[in-house]
Chain A
Amino acid sequence: MADTAATVPAVGGAARAEPRGRKPRRALSRRNIIIYGTLIVAAVYYLLPLYVMIVTSLKGMPEIRLGNIFSPPLEITFEPWVKAWATACTGLNCDGLSRGFWNSVRITIPSVILSIAVASVNGYALANWRFKGANIFFTILIIGAFIPYQVMLYPIVIILREIGLYGSLTGLVIVHTIFGMPILTLLFRNYFSAIPEELFKAARVDGAGFWTIYLKIMLPMSLPIFVVAMIIQVTGIWNDFLFGVVYTGPETYPMTVQLNNIVNSTQGVKEYNVNMAATIITGLVPLVVYFVSGKLFVRGIAAGAVKG
């Protein structure tokens, strides 16, 4: 200790444990300007339409006709939002988007639960139970993901008509469940494959069967991938337009189809404020899902969910 006390002041002038001087950190380095500049431009580019939509939806029609789409509303009104939700007319129905919203809820919830339930068992069986022909089965399933939907539209119309489900919500739920199968099965199979095989073997030695292993061992370990699957399905099914317009009727149209009917109605004046409000309302559900579960989503992806 005497040594240090004697030498340090001689060298440094004052005893310091830390390196001398401040760590150089320039806020406005060329690198930072380029990175943040690009990011800000990109963010503005994406946020500007949203801004226009919100601003327009809060204006009255006379104000919109002035043509200043970027100017904030002089007189804020929620009239267009109420109209979009409750009274806008599509065809014969004049109860706004609310009907479509509840239709979409009744389509999305069972479709998401059903497709995830089936696909997770599929993936589990493919990853852990290597039955005969498992690889062929899996290949066929994956090929299914590459066939364009349009090819299958009409055959499915016939099938649904034959079993008496054409035009009903149940029919659409079945269609969504089937079309979610390839990607979800792939997702779950890869996730379950990454779980050590010895765990599965240990459970078998412990006398657990197919369902016990799935429910007691695999399920509790797989929350992140279930969240990922849920987000993919909720946003996918909520945003779906094609299946909705083909397989349902005016009474059972999902929200997206109804939104289209409101926005594209050719009668009378185009009510831009109502259209904007209706669009935002429709997009709200996926937006909320992203905000609420974004963290889990990232974790699920990082946990090896989408690796080959």
Chain B
Amino acid sequence: MASVSIKNLFLSFGEVKVLQDLNLDIAEGEFLVLLGSSGCGKSTLLNCIAGLLDITDGQIFINENNVTWEEPKDRGIGMVFQSYALYPQMTVAGNLSFGLKNAGVARAEIEKRIKRAAEILHIEPLLERKPAQLSGGQRQRVAIGRALVRDVDVFLFDEPLSNLDAKLRAELRVEIKRLHQQLAGTTMIYVTHDQIEALTLADRIAIMRDGAIQQLSDPHTIYNKPVNKYVAGFIGSPSINFLEGDVTREGAPRFAAGDMTVSLEQYEFESDSSGGRAVFGIRPEHVAFGDPAKQSPYTCEVPVEVVEPMGSDTLVWTRLGGQEFRFRVDGQITVSAGQTVRIGFDPARASIFDSQTELRL
């Protein structure tokens, strides 16, 4: 059963078309992440689901109910915002109970729900404090609590961790994941521009660009088999290497760029295009280095140009097929600029895109 279902959604602000013919089905209990750079329409889509923006055309279903023109409070959603959006003049308990009071829930029931939410989120000692007396992490916990007490089926998160520092972000990320496991059957839709959050939290990721979903898939597939060049470049840090060249599929399939020719016997082509100009993408972390590289299906020697140590790893900049190329080695290995080193990779792990359409071949 689909928990949230979006059909042919259009949204325009005057002449500007923000979302175009968007379709999305989210299963009950699923954790879906909307991922994209700023301005791609991901927060807008979330606001549409919440009912905070009136859509231009299309339909939205939550739990099989058509909620397209329903008020936010009647949709069975709870929402967590980037800026926490806590009511500054109310205590934490006041913040948690505001929605319930508006809904006319009995006092005893309100107390019970606040107690339960406070337990889950470890904010019991804070209930009598004002938001100004809380740290960023505590504020966001309270904001999550505000959605929690409403006992809803769908949680909407709008970049909830973006205002926190790196350490807190990692902590709260785990806590959100734990919360999702704890609340079995609760659907969560989570907007972020942070790919780590997306990869760690999501059951499925929807990568958005210019108001359209580029790829909707589980994190593993998104990472290993991106459908187009944009998705490949967006996911992964450091980002994927792109080598411009030619693909030939007649006879022995191969990719050639400059003085480099890679055999594509092992590569699983997904389109029946006959070849032509193409972009060969291989992730820096999929490149083998030194002796192990000799066992790789493709191996060669390259000159080291720049070395960037990053603690656990070292990023090495070099040239391959006459183009810039990066690969990652273990931080313990010493590499210095000017050296010539052996690298290798498995073309089966690569992603090849048509130069024109930018779609996966």
With A and B bound together, what is the CA distance between A92 and B89 in angstroms?
55
Evaluate contact between B81 and A202: CB separation under 8 angstroms.
yes
Answer yes or no: B82 CB below 8 A from chain A CBs.
Answer: yes
Evaluate contact between B52 and A196: CB separation under 8 angstroms.
no
With A and B bound together, what is the CA distance between A185 and B196 in angstroms?
46
- B83: A residues at CB distance < 8 A: 196, 198
- B77: A residues at CB distance < 8 A: 205
Evaluate contact between B146 and A206: CB separation under 8 angstroms.
yes
Evaluate contact between B99 and A207: CB separation under 8 angstroms.
yes
- B99: A residues at CB distance < 8 A: 205-208
With A and B bound together, what is the CA distance between A164 and B245 in angstroms?
88
Nearest chain B CB to A201's CB is how many angstroms away? Answer: 5
Evaluate contact between A201 and B85: CB separation under 8 angstroms.
yes
- A204: B residues at CB distance < 8 A: 51-52, 71-73
With A and B bound together, what is the CA distance between A257 and B76 in angstroms?
61
Question: Max chain A CB contacts within 10 Å: which of B81, B85, B86?
Answer: B85
A201-B52 in contact given A220-B89, A221-B89 (Cβ < 8 Å): yes
Evaluate contact between A206 and B98: CB separation under 8 angstroms.
yes
Question: Max chain B CB contacts within 10 Å: which of A199, A204, A205, A217?
Answer: A205
Answer yes or no: A260 CB below 8 A from chain B CBs.
Answer: no
Answer yes or no: A261 CB below 8 A from chain B CBs.
Answer: no
Answer yes or no: A89 CB below 8 A from chain B CBs.
Answer: no
- B86: A residues at CB distance < 8 A: 202
Answer yes or no: B247 CB below 8 A from chain A CBs.
Answer: no
Evaluate contact between B81 and A198: CB separation under 8 angstroms.
yes
- What does the 1/0 interface line of A215-228 toward B look like (CB < 8 Å)? 01100110000000
A201-B79 in contact given A206-B99, A206-B146 (Cβ < 8 Å): yes
Answer yes or no: B87 CB below 8 A from chain A CBs.
Answer: yes
Evaluate contact between A205 and B50: CB separation under 8 angstroms.
yes
With A and B bound together, what is the CA distance between A201 and B79 in angstroms?
9
A201-B87 in contact given A206-B146, A207-B102 (Cβ < 8 Å): no
Answer yes or no: A203 CB below 8 A from chain B CBs.
Answer: yes
The residue in chain B whose Cβ has the minimal distance to the Cβ of A217 is: B87
Answer yes or no: B78 CB below 8 A from chain A CBs.
Answer: yes
- B39: A residues at CB distance < 8 A: none
With A and B bound together, what is the CA distance between A207 and B86 in angstroms?
15
Answer yes or no: B88 CB below 8 A from chain A CBs.
Answer: yes
- A201: B residues at CB distance < 8 A: 47, 50, 52, 79, 81, 85
A221-B50 in contact given A201-B81, A205-B73 (Cβ < 8 Å): no
Evaluate contact between B52 and A205: CB separation under 8 angstroms.
yes
Answer yes or no: B103 CB below 8 A from chain A CBs.
Answer: yes
Nearest chain A CB to B109's CB is how many angstroms away? Answer: 15
With A and B bound together, what is the CA distance between A32 and B18 in angstroms?
59
Nearest chain A CB to B28's CB is how many angstroms away? Answer: 21
With A and B bound together, what is the CA distance between A200 and B135 in angstroms?
22
With A and B bound together, what is the CA distance between A201 and B158 in angstroms?
12
**Which of A196, A212, A220, A221 makes the CB contact (< 8 A) with B102?**
A212
Question: Max chain B CB contacts within 10 Å: which of A206, A208, A212?
Answer: A206
Evaluate contact between A199 and B85: CB separation under 8 angstroms.
yes
CB interface residues, A 165-224, toward B, < 8 Å: 196, 198-199, 201-208, 212, 216-217, 220-221
With A and B bound together, what is the CA distance between A205 and B143 in angstroms?
12
With A and B bound together, what is the CA distance between A217 and B81 in angstroms?
17
With A and B bound together, what is the CA distance between A203 and B81 in angstroms?
12
- What does the 1/0 interface line of B51-70 toward A look like (CB < 8 Å)? 11000000000000000000
CB interface residues, A 147-167, toward B, < 8 Å: none
With A and B bound together, what is the CA distance between A264 and B107 in angstroms?
67
- A202: B residues at CB distance < 8 A: 79, 81, 85-87, 143, 146
Interface CB pairs A-B, < 8 A, 12? A198-B81, A198-B82, A202-B85, A202-B86, A202-B143, A205-B72, A205-B73, A205-B99, A206-B73, A207-B73, A208-B99, A221-B88
Q: What 7 pairs between A and B have smallest CB-CB spacing?
A: A207-B73, A206-B99, A207-B102, A202-B85, A198-B85, A220-B89, A198-B81
Given A198-B83, A205-B79, A205-B99, 17 additional A-B pairs, CB 8 A: A196-B85, A198-B81, A201-B47, A201-B85, A202-B86, A203-B98, A204-B52, A206-B99, A207-B72, A207-B73, A207-B99, A207-B102, A208-B98, A208-B102, A212-B102, A216-B87, A216-B98
